[in-house]
Chain A
């Protein structure tokens, strides 16, 4: 501690000496200039007095231009004295005999003050221009920075940091809660010596606060915040500059608010579309199987005695199949809700991919429907760390889809292979395939390749597959089958290698 204070003491002393030197230097140099003029004068002795005085005048002008008003007045007095002492009769006295010499003094003083004044203004203008240029550069840099900022908080932090650097003091910005629901917040930088202005004091920037300069942040929507600089800024230039920086930030803030509004509008319209699609799907996809069930069941009841055995079996079969279809649909709706509400908590466990496929084909009753499925797995890709129940649903939906589009004697092939850090599952059918333009759209909820096509199902299955796979950090995409016609759905699931990967050893 004591060393610190000693050091700061020494530093203070050093600083004082430096200041003294800085203010004395122009005068010492002015003296030197006059001395040079005085020593040069004897060489030019042959010239008349008037011309010698011009020599001193040159010195005064030099001092005026370089060091400003007061050193130049000092130099003119010194020049007059030197001129009077060395070069006018009576020599080596300060006596003034001729009126002309008095006039010389007056002219010296006059020239010195005019030139000094001019020089001062010139230098002042130059300094101001330098400051202005520097500020323009800062302003431009700031414009670029805030243009790159995406959020309100980033912009305000940039503003606060910039003002703090420029005014070398603490700065506080306060933002009111905005329309996008981003909460009110304060941004500070630097150490705040004076008590922090309160929320309201900042927002009602009309109030004056000792030690603070408060600038409002105004947009077309009104005041959205204020920035407080921990200094009294009195000079107009500085105030204008601070205002310019703040305005830049305000413009950027307005831009982010517009972007937020657009995003909000887009979400609302998307939700609306989804709601309409959901309603039409519920009415269509619930009603259709229900009408089959009701129709078949009532036929059985009314015509029970007169029906042939095979017809009765057929009616019963359709009741069963349609009811199972309803069940799958409801499962999908439930899964969609779980995914949509972000309530889904993955419960990962080790699952054999072949078990998942087998469970799915059991649920789809592939055995009874004589649908052939060929499964080809590589031994290092069989064990997956996934949420089994949900991945089973993915297989149910993908296999259901593949079966719907398969020709009567078609085979669905499932291939599971390993990549460095992922397992890739490909499900290919021998159907007509998916048109290239629709390969991304099929994952939109309720999208159907052909609106009237009963075959294309509820339009929910693939979007749920995508939701579930993405929840696992993976992706599912639609492709054309590499050989022959047909669609190929590819799931890529990030899976690190594990020590149990070789299941068959």
Chain B
């Protein structure tokens, strides 16, 4: 098996494991499976996978622990599977080093999109793109320019800071706490209304419909994601 693109799945539910394996293999990824946290950590050490998908509810150890122990020695991208209504757990997982999450039950397309985003950065020789283009929106970080329908959009300094963070992690969720501390400073991590106001203003300038966003998506209770 060419393990250059192997993905490690740590999940105790056999059905979910098999559905993930089938879907991932259909996309051409090699798959390693582990039923327990210990088994997963062992496989990760032996095989150096490109990505780890870990369920937060495992029989032998807390998924959070798996993330922490992986992060002790590795920068492998980690995608977390969690259930709805557990936003605190998601934020905790992201804080301890997970790169993104998917809420179960999830459509496979959503999961694959996350996997793609997380693996893209790993492609050797890829230069981090300074340009974001989607629909009629074009953001050029190297020239500090935002264009909508070919027209320049004036954004404030804070709006631009936020946009820059989102573009650099396009497709990935960024937590409220992270964004607040990056844009306003570490003392402001609980002032979520600052962020709501800023995002609302930015969406209007970008011509984004908050009720049906095409650019900035709200991840309820967690943070924001710029659609990739």
A: residues with CB less than 8 A from B are 320, 323-324, 327, 331, 334, 349-352, 354-359, 361, 367, 373, 375, 382-383, 388-389, 392, 414, 498, 500, 503-505
Contact = CB atoms under 8 A, between A and B. Distances in A.
Contacts of A357: 211
B201 A505 contact: yes
Nearest to B198: A503
Contact of B192 (A334, A349, A367): A349
Given A331-B85, A356-B220, A323 B210 contact: no
Nearest to A367: B212
Nearest to A414: B211
Contact of B220 (A320, A361, A388, A505): A388
B196 interface: yes
Given A359-B220, A383-B193, A498-B193, A352 B212 contact: no
A389 B201 contact: no
B84 A331 contact: yes
A351 B196 contact: yes
B179 to A, nearest CB: 14
B218 A359 contact: yes
A500 B197 CA distance: 7
Given A352-B200, A500-B196, 5 more contacts: A334-B85, A358-B213, A361-B212, A389-B84, A389-B221
Contacts of B124: none
Interface residues of B, number: 21
A216 to B, nearest CB: 56
A336 to B, nearest CB: 13
Contacts, number: 66
A334 B211 CA distance: 26
A214 B194 CA distance: 68
Nearest to B190: A349
B221 A358 contact: no
Contacts of B196: 350-352, 383, 500, 503
A352 B84 contact: no
Contact of A358 (B84, B107, B194, B212): B212
Residue from B105, B199, B211, B221 with most neighbouring chain A CB atoms (10 Å): B211
B2 interface: no
Nearest to A499: B193
Contacts of B221: 349, 388-389
B204 interface: yes
Residue from B194, B199, B200, B213 with most neighbouring chain A CB atoms (10 Å): B200
B128 to A, nearest CB: 29
5 contacts: A352-B199, A352-B200, A359-B218, A375-B211, A503-B201
A389 B193 contact: no
Contact of B197 (A334, A375, A503): A503
Interface in B84-141: 84-85, 87, 105, 107
B84 A354 contact: no
Nearest to B176: A349
Interface in B51-86: 84-85
Nearest to B224: A355
A350 B193 contact: yes
Nearest to B88: A347
Contacts of A388: 87, 220-221
A504 B199 CA distance: 10
